[in-house]
Amino acid sequence: MNRVTSLYVHVPFCPTICPYCDFHVVRRHRGVVEAYLHRLAEEAQALYAHHPDPLDTLYFGGGTPSFLRDREFEALFAALPWRLAPRAEVTLEANPGTLDPARLEHLKALGVNRISIGVQSFQDPVLKTLGRAHGRKGAFRAVELAQEAGLRVSIDLILGLPGQDVAADLREAVQLEVGHVSAYTLQIEPGTPFAVRGLEPDPEREAAALEQAEAILGEAGLVRYEVSNFARPGEEARHNQVYWRAGFWAALGPAAAGHYPAANEAYSVRTTNPPLPRWLAGEPPQREAIPPLEHAKEALMLGLRTREGVDLEALEARTGLMLWPALEPIAARLEAAGLLEVAERRLRPTRAGLMRLHPVILALWEALEA
């Protein structure tokens, strides 16, 4: 039986909306947080009736979950009927300016044991360009406070920006001795202020930035275990690994997306909740049936982003499809080209393969569709 033991909770509120952000976020206003918490409790009870297993991972994303007030955090946790499994990972996203010792101790008492801090950069000019409210000192202070509180700490960095000293940002992360770094390049999404201003990505600069990240973070013991994620041993983001392994997770909150086992000939069902106003009104999520072949393609795409790669034998067992006969010839060619490692029907990207992941995935997809 396929169990759902991971939960994502979307908390859409932000004090300000960054010019590069295309997530579903809103500013808080009178009564909206109370309405959100009431609706979330209703949605949680309905979901729990179908998926009551204890949670191995619980992730509060946003938005800025740490923007909530203490009593709102208490109501948020009280709205969730699930028990936590032993050694469950409970992650909360936070902005540096929302953290202080009392807040962190309160979160820890509620069950949070891992915090993901949106540092983005330790350079004040870069932070100003990104529209961030915190500065260099605030970023350092937030990380140090979270460490002093005994929480596992991950930080987000955005790399490859014009005028950014990438190596300096990476060395600051190393100096702080964080256990996990998510290092992203800036995506210019349609409709965001950055897109309106005509900013464009620079793929060469971004690729060079990720190479610097691999070198500097790797030398400090943070292994690149996914395209954009680096961790010390045992500090990997277990919740995100559920995504990359094409596993199942439940989702609550406006615009939240979930992935559930299917009860029919489809392999699974993907759900997407509506935006906040329609979600508050009780509109149900959109549901999309994922057939076995589509799941296999998604599993390849996601798994090849990671150091562990994709176990084709396990994927065949999950989907009931014979994948290896179609994939073996192209996998051999990609291995000969130095882009894949193939061992015992497990496909892993090489370092060169990670840098050229898009054509690798397309080649494997085309083989499955032939």
Instruction: Provide φ and ψ at 90, rounded to 5°.
Output: -120, 105
- Using one digit for the tens of pLDDT, what is the confidence trace for 258-298? 999 998 778 999 999 999 999 999 999 999 999 999 999 99
What DSSP line would sit under 117-170, residue for residue? EEEE-S-HHHHHHTT-S--HHHHHHHHHHHHHTT-EEEEEEEE--TT--HHHHH
pLDDT tens string 217-241: 999 999 999 999 999 999 999 999 9
- 307-370 adopts what CATH topology? Arc Repressor Mutant, subunit A (1.10.10)
Q: Which of 298, 331, 332, 296 is nearest to 316 (CA)?
A: 296
pLDDT digits (tens, 9 = 90+) for 126-153: 888 777 766 778 899 999 999 999 999 9
Q: Say yes or no to pLDDT of 1 above 60.
A: no
Average pLDDT, the chain: 91
Report helix, strand and coil shares of the chain as percent, to nearest 5: 40, 25, 35
pTM, rounded to two decimals: 0.93
List pLDDT tens digits, range 92-119: 999 998 899 999 999 999 999 999 999 9
Reported as type and span, the H/E element at residue 343 is strand 340-343
CA–CA gap between residue 307 and residue 320 (Å, rounded): 25
Q: How far apart are CA 304 and CA 245, in angstroms?
A: 10
**Is residue 195 pLDDT above 50, yes or no?**
no
Q: Where are the domains of the chain?
A: 6-242, 307-370
Please write the tens of the pLDDT for every residue from 313-358: 999 999 999 999 999 999 999 999 999 999 989 999 999 999 899 9
Computed over its alpha carbons, how large is the radius of gyration of the chain?
21
Asked if the 6-242 domain carries CATH number 3.40.50.10190, the reply is: no
In this predicted structure, which of 19-33, 76-90, 161-175 has the lowest mean pLDDT?
A: 19-33
Q: Are 72 and 12 in contact (CB under 8 A)?
A: no
Helix (H, G, I), strand (E, B) or coil at 272: strand
User: What is the mean pLDDT of the segment spanning 82-96?
Assistant: 97
- Amino acid found at 207: A
CB 169 within 8 A of CB 159: yes
Which of the 8 DSSP states describes residue 3? -
